[in-house]
Structures are given as structure tokens and as C-alpha cells.
Structure 1
């Protein structure tokens, strides 16, 4: 059972479901029609992109001595890449262009484009913002294109909120990795310490909630679900430590978007 659970996390299925959940949250916020084809496309894209970033270097350096688990992930990633190519034939061209842009950012994040050892991730302080831009774009802009009569200003505010939320969700990971990250990365905990990082996270959550009040559309269910999700996020931020189990971040923190979707659906039904 543990092997299956580890594969679920390590193969990026969990994070892909989190991204798909955020796409659904966006559609539900604006009363759009759910496009299953787009969700499948995004799921395959996330698995392919994340596994490329996480495992490309390892697979390249140790291709003859890969563990069984990593080989299984490679096979699964190849399956998802094939699914990505097939599903792309059924996706709007504008979405494909935007997806290519976000995919390029992801590739630049991992590939040494500036020198043999330097990529976007190695530039001090930039990592968290790249992830925020990509997640906000994929989970708001891509599903937002298909929402008819969506108010542009509200979509922009939604993207701004999503960007801030992703920044906050990254903080527990940066706190966990504080001992291992190179100083040149310039992560927030490295710059200002763990306690101040948590305070920044709470302040950003406050901005997210206030921003919701500026929208001209929305529902009480959406607002209530957002507040509950922010409180849940605040708990995980405050509970973050350097010595937490990897499942605290890799499963529970990354499950917040999924829980947000569940809460929103429950509030809309009841």
C-alpha cells in the first residue's frame, strides 16, 4: 500500500489533481461550463512537466542504474506525454499557444539555458515567482478562456489571488528545504527567517480574502469556501517546520486545492 501511495505522490498524480481542482474552482467561480477535454489535457501536461523537472537530470545521469520506482515513473510519464499529444488535437489553438508559453517557462526552470549549470531556478529569489505565474496562468487563464461573459477585471483579480495563494503554498516547502537549499537560491526563509516567512504568508492570505471583496461577481458559497481554504492554509503554514515528514508537504499541503474544491462543491449543494 505504501508503494502505491508513494508512486501516487512521486509520479505527480497528486499535484496534477491539485491543478485540475484549481481549474474547476475557477470554472465554478465564474459559472462556466466544465470542459472535460481541457481538464484531461491539463492533467497530462502537469504530470509530464513536473516529472521532467524532477527527474530529467537524474535519468540522464543514471540511466543505467535507475531504480524500479523511477523506471515506473518514466513509463507513466511517457504514457501521459502520449496522452498530452493526443488530447492537444481537441484543444482550442489559443489555449495551446498559452500552454506552450507556460510549458516553456517550466522548461527554462529546469534546463541550463544560461550556462551549463545555470537555469531560471538558480537565479536568486526567482523560483517562487515562476511557479506562481505558471500555476496562476494554467489554473485561471486556460479555463477562463472558455467561460462566456466572464468579467475581465474579475478574472484578473482571480489570477492575482491564485498567484498569491501559490506563493503561500510554496512556503512550507521552502521551510522544509531550508537545510538543503543552496544559499544562492535566496528563498524567503533564507532571507528573513522562518518566523517572518510565516507572518508574510498570513499577510498574503489576508490580501487574498480582501481581494475577493473587490470582485463584481461571485457568490456567498465561493467567498465562504475561500475563507475556509485560507484558514486551512494558515494552519499548514504555521505548522511548518524544517523537520516535518515529507508527506506533510508532498501530500497534505498539495491537497489544499483539492480540499478547496470539495468545500466549494459542498457549500454550493447545501
Structure 2
């Protein structure tokens, strides 16, 4: 049991779970726009997500305490380096437009953790914008990147899906924001700090309703995808309403972040049944 717990903790703490959620949302975009995503692109997406997330979470710790790193953190470091190499190798076969777009998104990730030159503060510490930066990067990564890699132009459906994804990811962050109320300084002005827990939950549900209605503005919408989207958003809304400051350890980091994975599984099953 101890080994299983250690393996599960590594799965969560090394950002494997959240990176699979990123890949899942990219696959959701593929289903929505009827585009096929190359396996090298998906591996690139996974590896870059692991590297990016672990850089944000552990770079400062590794820099200050390199010699006294815990064994688990050393393992995460090694895994991150391996994913960084995987990102480089798979990136060699991607379109240059994809790499350019990825570089722009990577700058947001970099300055999320590293202070901006003029402001001398990172994006994470600027009051009120943390979740919006994360939602923007996720929308760009899981919607714009797959479109660019497939050599498509940005058109109406892409913009709508990107906006929808932005709203859904923003809502996905609410359980994390509520969980972190005990740790975030008031200077951050997070949504729960500004609005309170009840109002931020209401905001989250409202954003999910808007995200669902946006599906009907897509030119090439499919009934089965609308039904599945409804199921997924109902589950996410339910998880938001259950969010508390004191929540189970893996509630946000595993259960909530599993929603995108569940979403793409449902779409895959529906696709197989129709085929």
C-alpha cells in the first residue's frame, strides 16, 4: 500500500495527471473540429506540460536547496529533464508555426514564475490575474496549438471553442482557488478572496452555462458532443458546489483535474458507437 501511495503521489506531484488533462483537452478540440492529432504532437504537448508545470512548481526550490532535495523531488527533477528531452525531440518534427505559437505561450508560463523585467514581479503575484493567465495558456495550448499544427486558419469555430475552453478552465480553477484560501496572501486578490466562496461558486456555474450555450454558436456542432458536454459541465458544476477550504487532499489535484480526461473518454466511446 505504501508503494502504491508513493507511486500515486509521484503521479500527482510530477504533473503527469495535469499534463494528461492538457492532452485530453487537445483531443477534445480534435473531436470538436474533426481534426486528427499526430502522436508526436500529443507527446510534445504532454512533455512540454510536465516541464512547464514542474518548472513553475519546483524551480525555486531546486535552485535554493539543490543539495538537500528530497528523494521524491530529485525523481521529479529527473523525470522533468527526460520530458524536456522528449519535448525537444518531438518538437523537431512539428511545424514552425506550432513552435512559434508554443514559444509565445511558454513566455506566459516563464513569467508566471519568473519576475517580469520592468515590474520586478511575476504574473502569479500580480493581484487578480493568476487564474486568467492559466486559463489563457490552457486555451491557447489545447485549442490554438492543435489548429496551427494541422495547418488550419483561425476561423469562427476556433474562436468560439477557444473562448469556451477559457471559461471552462477558469471554472476548473475555482476548487483550487478555494482550497488555497488558507495559504494565499490577501494581496493576491484571488476570486474567492474578492467575491467570497458562495459567490465564486455561483460565478463558476454561470460561466459553465455560458460555455454550454456557446456550443450552439459553433457552425459545425454535433448533437452527441452537445450531450456529452452537458454531462461533463454538470459534473464540473457539482464538483464546484462541493468545494470547501478544507477538502480531501486529492479532491482538486486528482478528481477535478480528471474531468478533461473523463470528457475525452466519453467522446471516444461515442465516436466508436457511431462508427
TM over 0.5: yes
3-state SS of 2:182 partner: coil
Q: Is the 8 A contact 1:31 1:147 kept in 2?
A: no
Q: Which residue of 1 aligns with 2:104?
A: 101
Q: Distance in 2 between matches of 1:60 and 1:147?
A: 38
* Match of residue 146 from structure 2: 143
Partner of 1:5 in structure 2? 8
- In 2, distance between residues paired with 1:149 and 1:188? 35
SS of alignment partner, residue 246 of structure 1:
coil
Q: String of CA shifts for 1:196-235, please: whole Å, max 9, x gaps.
A: 0000000000000110011110211111111111001001
Alpha-carbon displacement from aligned partner over 1:34-70 (angstroms, at most 9, x marks no partner): 2111101111100000000000011111111110000
Report the Cα distance in structure 1 between the residues aligned to 2:9 and 2:123, rounded to whole angstroms: 28
1:263 and 2:270 are equivalent in the alignment: no
Q: TM-score, normalised by structure 2?
A: 0.95
Distance in 2 separating the partners of 1:238 and 1:264: 25
Residue 246 (structure 1) shift? 2.3
Q: Which residue of 1 aligns with 2:251?
A: 248
For residues 79-98 of structure 1, what are the structure 2 equivalents within 5 Å?
79-98=82-101
Task: Give yes or no for the alignment of 1:170 onto 2:173.
Answer: yes
Contact 1:109/1:119 (8 A) holds in 2 = yes
Equivalent residue runs for 1:156-167 within 5 Å: 156-167=159-170
What TM-score, normalized by structure 1, do the two folds share?
Answer: 0.97
| Partner Cα distance (1:200, 1:126) in 2 | 16
Counterpart in the other structure of 2:66: 63
Structure 2 unaligned segments of length 5 or more: list them.
Answer: none
2:230 to 214, 227, 230: 227
**1:203 alignment counterpart:** 206
For 2:77, the equivalent position in structure 1 comes to 74
> Partners of 2:178 and 2:57 in 1: how far apart?
19
CA RMSD between the two structures? 1.5
CA contact (8 A) 2:97 2:149 kept: no
* Residue aligned with 1:222, SS: helix
Q: How far is the alpha carbon of 1:85 from its aligned partner?
A: 1.0
Cα distance per residue 1:78-106 (max 9 Å; x no partner): 10011111111101000000000000100
Instruction: Give the drift of 1:30.
Output: 1.2
Unaligned 5+ residue runs, structure 1?
none
Q: How many equivalent residue pairs?
A: 270
* 2: CA distance, partners of 1:203 / 1:194: 14
Residue equivalent to 2:55? 52
Name the residue aligned to 1:36.
39
Pick from 110, 121, 125 the counterpart of residue 122 of structure 1: 125
4+ residue segments displaced more than 6 Å: 148-151
How far does residue 145 in structure 1 lie from its aligned partner after superposition?
A: 2.2
Deviation at 1:240, TM superposition (A): 0.3
CA distance in 2, matches of 1:67, 1:213: 50
Equivalent pair of 1:32/1:146 in contact (CA under 8 Å)? no
Matches of 1:149 and 1:36, distance apart in 2: 18
Partner of 2:25: 22
